[in-house]
Amino acid sequence: MATADDDPRNAAASASYRIRAHRVVAQLNPCNEDNYYVANAMLSWGGAPGEGLDVLRRAVACRRWDEFPAFFYGFNLWFFNRDAGAARAALEMAAERARDPHNAASMRNVGIMIEAGEFADGRAALTFLEHEREQVADERLREMLTKRIGRLQGLLTLREAQARYEALTGKALVQPQALLQEGILDAFPQDPLRLGYEFVDGHFRLREIRIPGMERMR
């Protein structure tokens, strides 16, 4: 389900630019703090989570004194791959590296909740991104995160609309268009990144993009 008001020519040009930009970001030296942080914002939350995970994995390996690559890596393993066990292990590593006991306890608690299935899905991710935006001083990165927050809010709108539809009708949603026909939504949410959303196997998810040539780097 693409963004409804995308002009095909503009969307194609935007996708082409985004792929080129993502390819450059994915090749940055992940040992540099700014690089892995930007890569996480642009790749993980910008339609290329696999490439984002790869950058973070390399940052975890080379920045052994820094808890945040392991924290981002663990959080993204949970949100994008639904791998609770691996996420818990990465978050435990982050906790062990944390210099602040409060941060260590928080990271360890997130890992426990994820493995126990007690961590709310999209709302937790939204809170996470909003917290990251509050910590950022660079206006360009703040704007980047704002767009990714808007993208995730659109996904949550779709998922909540699906839940209302299924509660109202007593049946599973098969076609997203039914949300409009039943008056659950007036219109589909627009993705600020112009990638759109997908409805696959009965679930809404963020549409991803593939970065040609990056598979060979892994």
Position 90 confidence tier, pLDDT thresholds 50, 70, 90: very high
Lowest average pLDDT, out of 2-16, 113-127, 168-182, goes to 2-16
Global pTM?
0.68
Q: Can you give the pLDDT at residue 201?
A: 93
Q: How many CB atoms lie within 10 A of CB 212?
A: 9
Q: Can you give the pLDDT at residue 112?
A: 84
- In this structure, is the dihedral angle defined by the CA atoms of residues 99, 46, 21 and 61, taken in order, positive or negative? positive
Mean pLDDT of 47-71: 91
Q: Can you give the pLDDT at residue 36?
A: 86
Rounded to whole angstroms, how far apart are CA atoms 102 and 89?
A: 18
Position 4 confidence tier, pLDDT thresholds 50, 70, 90: very low
Q: What domains appear along the chain, each with residue ranges and CATH number?
A: 8-217 (1.25.40)
Q: Can you give the pLDDT at residue 208?
A: 80
